[in-house]
Amino acid sequence: PTGNPLRKALAELHSLHPDQVILGNGSDDLLNLCARCFSGPEQAIGVATPGYSLYPVLASLQGAPVVEVPFEPDFSLPADAIAACPANLFYLTTPNAPSGVCFPNETLASVLQRFPGLFVADEAYADFAPHDATPLLAAHPRLLVTRTLSKSYSLAGLRIGYALGSPELIAIL
């Protein structure tokens, strides 16, 4: 049930420690786990809009309010608004769906320095992008990066997702 051989392989793939990897039944399972651990009626969930339709569903399951932060007109990241978002947990699809925009790691780092809650970078489409947020993990213990085998690996039916984060965060999940 711990999936340790796969955690070890994924840790090697990302040059991390197996303690920094958690497996899920698809990454939707892990996104749900984040909502269960870090949101509730008094702990809002922030989302950038337009975005993945699952996030508000996960919020409603926990009775958590949703704070919507609209993208800029050119679909770039509203970094200041996300940093100031009154939420305990923020979900960002990066690279983004539906816009296809990939956000610079410098911009994500500026959000991570200021946003005080758990920041989830939902990287379902990372394999199609020129870069990803995993280099930010070392300096940002409140960052969780979620990945899935459903898109670039065409294995949606197997329901395999994983998340990368600090050992403390992975232990909580």
Ligand X SMILES: *Cc1c(COP(=O)(O)O)cnc(C)c1O
Query: Which residues would be at the binding site for ligand X (CB under 6 A)?
Result: 26-28, 52, 93, 97, 122, 124, 148, 150-151, 156, 161
Please state, in angstroms and rounded to a whole number, the distance separating the CA atoms of residues 132 and 157: 25
- Minimum distance, C-beta of residue 27 to ligand X, in the bound complex (Å): 4
Which helix (H) or strand (E) segment is 130 a member of? none
The residue (of 11 and 159) whose beta carbon lies closer to ligand X is 159
The residue (of 14 and 84) whose beta carbon lies closer to ligand X is 14
Q: How far is CA 80 from CA 24, 56, 71, in A?
A: 31, 22, 11
Contact assessment for residue 33 and residue 172, using Cβ atoms and an 8 Å cutoff: no
The residue (of 98 and 116) whose beta carbon lies closer to ligand X is 98
- Minimum distance, C-beta of residue 119 to ligand X, in the bound complex (Å): 15
- Minimum distance, C-beta of residue 150 to ligand X, in the bound complex (Å): 3
Q: Which residues face 143 on adjacent strands?
A: 119
- Minimum distance, C-beta of residue 29 to ligand X, in the bound complex (Å): 7
Q: Can you read off the two tokens belonging to residue 25?
A: 């039944």
The residue (of 2 and 154) whose beta carbon lies closer to ligand X is 154
Question: What residue number has its CB nearest to ligand X?
Answer: 26
- Minimum distance, C-beta of residue 149 to ligand X, in the bound complex (Å): 7
The residue (of 153 and 168) whose beta carbon lies closer to ligand X is 153
Q: Is the Cα torsion angle 157, 123, 71, 88 positive or negative in sign?
A: positive
Contact assessment for residue 165 and residue 7, using Cβ atoms and an 8 Å cutoff: no
